[in-house]
Amino acid sequence: MSQNKPQLSCGSCVLTRICLPANLSPEETRILGGAVERGRELRAGARLIRAGARTDALYVVRGGSAKSCGLMSNGEEYVRAFHLPGEVAGLEGFACGRHTCEVVALEPMSYCRIPSGPLERMMATLPGLRRELMRLLGQSLEEAQRMRIESSTIDARGRLARFLVDLSSRLELRHLSPTHIRLSMSRRDIAHHLGLTVETVSRTLAAFRRASWVEVRARYIELLQPAALASLPVR
């Protein structure tokens, strides 16, 4: 693997302001970049992280998207999160030194890899990186806890609406259209992410369509009234 060519350094990456280095000093960014390996292209369905594998690196999506999924006690798959470019996957691996969920590409995907060794060493010397990782973990925790309660308090409409609005804002942050969305994940993935069934996702989308809040054509979704979606009653 040939990597770390100057022109690929974190500082000159289009994602700099969205990715891990977002809050790092130029110097810290340079050092971080020195430790980053550039992964090869993955095809849709390829596995980035295998559940049970030793936590030997963190991964950042560079292009495309991925899902993190785990297995429930009854064997059903559930989707913990979707990852867009600049988002970090594998953080849960810090829990016990092993990854507890599979990370799978949803479409052709590229990524960066930060091996644990250098990461640990940088954590000792780069306070900014330390803070950033703690921040990311705290934020994910925050998010998961909020969603946990909402999942059992907010109805299907509210959850799906929130999902669309959230996705939209994350796309916008990446200078993609916040209203014309091509979903890289299946209805099944969405359902398993929101704790619903495919049927309910389908029906709820249909309801949004009838209300003229969205335009749906297979995996293309256009948000016609994002405000309506964002302000759905909470039961």
> Which of 150, 215 has the CB closer to its own copies?
150
Q: Which tokens go with 61?
A: 């999506």
Show contacts with DNA in window 136-165 (CB under 7 A): 152, 155-157
> Which of 137, 173 has the CB closer to its own copies?
137
Binds 218: which of DNA, its own copies, none (CB < 5-8 Å by kind): DNA
Binds 170: which of its own copies, DNA, none (CB < 5-8 Å by kind): none
d(CA 10, CA 72): 37
**Dihedral sign, Cα of residue 148, residue 154, residue 155, residue 161:** negative
Part in contact with DNA (CB under 7 A); list of ranges 2-10, 25-33, 137-145, 196-204: 196-204
Binds 94: which of DNA, its own copies, none (CB < 5-8 Å by kind): its own copies
Single-letter amino acid, residue 149: I
3-class secondary structure per residue, 12-81:
HCCCCCCCHHHHCCHHHHHHHHHHCEECCCECCCCEEECCCCECCEEEEEEECCEEEEEECCCCCEEEEE
Binds 148: which of its own copies, DNA, none (CB < 5-8 Å by kind): its own copies
Residues in touch with its own copies (CB under 8 A) = 70, 72-74, 76, 78, 80-81, 91-96, 100, 120, 123-124, 127, 130, 133-135, 137-142, 144-153, 192, 194-196, 234-235
CB of 198 to DNA, least distance (A): 5
Binds 205: which of its own copies, DNA, none (CB < 5-8 Å by kind): DNA
d(CA 115, CA 55): 9
The single residue among 105, 205, 223, 229 that binds DNA, judged by CB under 7 A, is: 205
Binds 219: which of its own copies, DNA, none (CB < 5-8 Å by kind): DNA
d(CA 166, CA 158): 12
**Contact present, 84 and 174 (Cβ < 8 Å):** yes
**Residues that contact DNA, how many (by CB under 7 A):** 23
Question: Which residue's structure tokens are 């249909």?
Answer: 206
> Which of 140, 197 has the CB closer to DNA?
197
Part in contact with DNA (CB under 7 A); list of ranges 85-93, 120-128, 174-182, 192-200: 192-200
Q: Does 124 bind DNA (CB under 7 A)?
A: no
Contacts of 106 (CB under 8 A, 6+ apart): 44, 64, 65, 66, 67, 82, 184, 185, 189
Q: Does 72 bind DNA (CB under 7 A)?
A: no
Q: How far apart are the first and last CA of the chain?
A: 53
Q: Which of 14, 7, 56, 10 is nearest to 33 (CA)?
A: 10
Half-sphere exposure (Cβ direction) of 98: Cα atoms closer than 13 Å: 6
Q: Which residues bind DNA (CB under 7 A)?
A: 152, 155-157, 186-188, 195-203, 205-206, 216-219, 235
